[in-house]
Structure 1
């Protein structure tokens, strides 16, 4: 029987908040805008960039929101080129969890608000890119919580919704699962609170990698 685990990336597999906050601050500064509070930036991680800017600056003109999204990408690429990016560690136990799931016959996928390039670099950096059968990003799909990424992952893996689970740290991940008819499991080490994830429809919320293993096999 096919078993597919679809993981979010930022806040679920890796802790990338420092670089996201830095690039966000630089993109706002380019327009003479005060940077958003760190907690506000963390709240929009998981959304596609334009949707994130809409959430951070709801009263701004659409053209400015789109410009900020492009400037965020430019800032991130510049920071990478200048070797100014902070380390983006995997969360404790996640590497071993992925290896165990893979060895146990699970198919693994990623659905993320990252770009294709950003995701590929992150997975390759941690030596886990070979574990995934499907990589879905904001470059090719509507923003979460739209279920397009999830449906694409199901199609590439040859799995039914009933054979899959989405794992993520935000309500956007959980809502994507709910809308796609896929079981959702939250993690509490990311950017949204456990209570929010349960309220959004998560079947459970893991407190660490070992707990996540239990929930996936429950």
Structure 2
């Protein structure tokens, strides 16, 4: 493996406590969706953002205005839950030490998230200062696992994908890195175990980001 020149991190569950209840979010979205369409399409496997987009597209086929109304209401619901979760969340104790240590070693860093930027800034007002770039879902046209989310971060910090590592607590993060051509790492600080992360076949797995950095240093990749 090449020496790592940049590490791009997911945020919730990777650098910060995962306080968003995604199951509750889907339940509330489906309750709202039932007021617009009954029965609802069987698309429970889709994450919340993609589920909303799919539903809105279905409604828009018959009534574009209804599709827009549904999409807007869902986005307000999602953002309100994200902001509420952010008010009770915190960075992990190791986060600033990891980011500062990488910066001092000349390793560039970035943070990308499917979360809304306002929720992340509610928790970490200086998020734009603690890493080389920060890109929420509002900052890109296509959110991860689409590789464009990661490509834009790498462009901003000026490092190629083949010299970079994507780190996250979910298989979506690992998929994002694979699609972009970076090395990948899974950390078990969210709601996914190491065994489950291994099923996504990342290059590295660790209990948390601090342990991951130790693994990378031991392998002489940093």
User: After TM superposition, is the score higher than 0.5?
Assistant: yes
1:95 Cα offset (Å): 2.4
Check the 8 A contact 1:154/1:161 in 2, yes or no.
yes
Question: Does residue 153 of the first structure (1) align with residue 149 of the second (2)?
Answer: no
Structure exhibiting the larger radius of gyration computed from Cα positions: 2
Check the 8 A contact 2:185/2:203 in 1, yes or no.
yes
Question: TM-score under structure 1 normalisation?
Answer: 0.73
1:11 matched residue in structure 2? 13
Equivalent position SS for 1:166: strand
Matches within 5 A, 1:123-202: 123-124=124-125, 127-139=126-138, 140-202=140-202
How many Å separate the matches in 2 of 1:198 and 1:66? Answer: 39
Q: 1:95 to 1:21 in 2, by over 3 A?
A: farther
1:113 Cα offset (Å): 0.5
Question: TM-score under structure 2 normalisation?
Answer: 0.72
Equivalent position SS for 1:132: coil
Equivalent position SS for 2:144: coil
Q: 1:86 to 1:136 in 2, by over 3 A?
A: closer
1:38 matched residue in structure 2? none
2:203 matched residue in structure 1? 203
2:94 matched residue in structure 1? 93
How many Å separate the matches in 1 of 2:85 and 2:123? Answer: 15
Question: Does residue 62 of the first structure (1) align with residue 63 of the second (2)?
Answer: no
Matches within 5 A, 1:100-119: 100-119=101-120
How many Å separate the matches in 2 of 1:69 and 1:214? Answer: 43
Q: Deviations over 1:139-165 (max 9, x none)?
A: 223232211011111111110112211
Greater displacement, 168-177 / 14-23: 14-23
2:64 matched residue in structure 1? none
Greater displacement, 193-202 / 141-150: 193-202
Check the 8 A contact 1:50/1:69 in 2, yes or no.
no
How many Å separate the matches in 2 of 1:69 and 1:123? Answer: 28
Aligned alpha-carbon RMSD (Å): 3.4
Check the 8 A contact 1:50/1:66 in 2, yes or no.
no
Q: 1:194 to 1:132 in 2, by over 3 A?
A: same
In the alignment, structure 2 segments of 5+ residues that lack a partner are 36-43, 61-66
Check the 8 A contact 1:178/1:201 in 2, yes or no.
no
1:32 Cα offset (Å): 6.0
1:28 Cα offset (Å): 4.4
In the alignment, structure 1 segments of 5+ residues that lack a partner are 34-40
